Each structure stands twice: as structure tokens, then as C-alpha cells.
Amino acid sequence: MRKKLSVVLVAALTASMAMLGGSAQASTHSAAAAVNLHLVKAGSLTVGMSLTFKPEMYLDAKGKPAGYDVAMVTALAKSLGLKLVIKNIDWAGLIPGLMARKFDMISAGHTATAERAKSVTFSRDYVPYTTILAAKPGTTRAATLAGWNVAGTKITALEGSTAAGLVTSNFSAATLVGFPDQSAAFLEVSTGRADAIVVEEYLAADFIKSNPGQLAVVKLAKPIDVGFGAWAVQLGNFSLQKKLSAFICTNYKSGAMGKMFKKEMGFDLAEMPKACS
């Protein structure tokens, strides 16, 4: 009986040591990943997002993160063997939050401008954007840039966005009215307090679908701009940047990225501007 008890105790002790060893090994692996990728928290990929841009990124009816960007970062975290943590904050606070190490990366479709690149490091592009002009239906203004580039004209846009910069560069005689919230920028026009909005086409389409008769796309000869958005990481974190860009390339070439985009956004993914090697 004593012999059997000893065997049981040894077996239990061995199992406990194995479990502790496995736990320590997993912990060490997570810690190593955090060091190698300079993560805010070992074992987790913390992503800053602004979940107010349906269908790209938003909160669904159950209050859960949804949309193309959410699908992308979910697959990204899984590929890296990390737990996904999404922090939902105002769009204007994303880059400052990243700089303050509140999260590891931003997934909000930022255009990789030279000015932003002074503060953060960008991955390769992962999402296309077509920027348009929208106004109240029935406007009598000419459907030209010149027709809207008139003193006294108020054009809204999201503060600090590429769209805001496009208002300044294309409608210098007009007045830019910036808002920290995209919905407020739409409402300012739909209620007649501003004349037009410069915004991404997919956002305008969603607003028009949800609010019939309140806004219409101004039929310019061509879009105001066609650009692409990238992920952003902390300045100089090239280890994580390379992982993100490799993930984008792998999933772009395999077609998985295109499928996610079509499912969430409702139209085909445009060809990315830089070829994957």
C-alpha cells in the first residue's frame, strides 16, 4: 500500500512539475514575443480602433466589434498566436494613444502621409479608399470642384483626417468645418448647417442607405481622391511592422483578404498599389 502510495505521489509530483514547466515555457514564449515585437502586454496584441465607421469598423447590434478591420486584426492576432485586445476610442486620439503606448498598433485606415510618419511607423496598405463630395439632394451648384470652391461655402470632414486635408487642398476658398466624430460631420450637412461633406465613398453610401433622401453624392467628373490606408505601429517598431506587412501580403496573395473585404464591405477589394514580393 505504501509502495502504491509512493508511486501515486511521484506521478502526481511529476505531472505537477510538467504542468508548471509547460506554464513557465508558455509564459517565457509570450514574454519573448513581447520583447521581440515590443508589445504593450505579453501574449496580447492590443489594437486601437474607432468603431464608428460602418461597415469597415463598428459595434454590431450586440455591442461587439465588427467589420473589415475587425476581421483583419482577428486573423492577424491568431496568426501571431496572440490574444486580441481591441481598445475603442475617438479617432483623433488614436495616434496620440499609440505614441503613449496605450496599444501596439492602430487599425483605422490611416493614410501613410509624410507628416504622420514622423510620429508612427506604417505597414504596407491594407484598405482602399475613394473620397467623394456629398451634399443635400437637389442642389443647383455645378458638379465641379470650382462650383464648390466658393467663399462662404461650408464643407465638413473628420478632424485630422485625409478628407480634411483634401478639403483644404481642393476647396481653398471654402471653409473647412471639422468634427471629431464622423456622424456629426454628416448631420451638419443633412440638417442644412453646412453645404457639403468630403468623405470616403463607402461611408457616404452607408449614411445614404440608412438616411434616405438626406444626402446625395455630387457627380463630379472623377473622385476627389483614390488612396489607401495602412496599419500603424509605434515609431521605429520595425519588428512588428514587418509581421504586419508579411501578414497583409500573405493574405492578399492567397485571396483571403479579398474574401474578408467583399464579405464585410460589400464590394471587391481594389488592387493594392505596391506589389508583394
User: Domain coordinates of the chain in residue numbers?
Assistant: 34-129+227-265, 130-225
Q: Residue 35: its pLDDT value, please? A: 55
Structural contact between residues 182 and 162, judged by C-beta atoms closer than 8 angstroms:
no
Share of the chain above pLDDT 70, in %: 87
Q: How confident is the model at residue 14 (pLDDT cuts 50, 70, 90)?
A: very low
Residue 18 pLDDT > 90: no
Length of the chain measured in residues: 277
Residue 13 pLDDT > 90: no
Q: Residue 26: its pLDDT value, please? A: 42
Residue 277 pLDDT > 90: no
Q: Residue 275: its pLDDT value, please? A: 76
Task: Select 130-225's CATH number: 2.160.20.10, 3.20.20.70, 3.40.50.9100, 3.40.190.10.
Answer: 3.40.190.10
**CATH no., domain 34-129+227-265:** 3.40.190.10
Domains 34-129+227-265 and 130-225 share a fold: yes
**Pairwise pLDDT comparison (273 vs 158), residue with the higher score:** 158
Q: How confident is the model at residue 144 (pLDDT cuts 50, 70, 90)?
A: very high
Q: How confident is the model at residue 207 (pLDDT cuts 50, 70, 90)?
A: very high
Cis previous bond, 137, omega within 30? no
**Which pLDDT tens digit goes with each residue over 33-66?**
555 899 999 999 999 999 999 999 999 999 999 9
Residue 31 pLDDT > 70: no
**Which pLDDT tens digit goes with each residue over 211-240?**
999 999 999 999 999 999 999 999 999 999
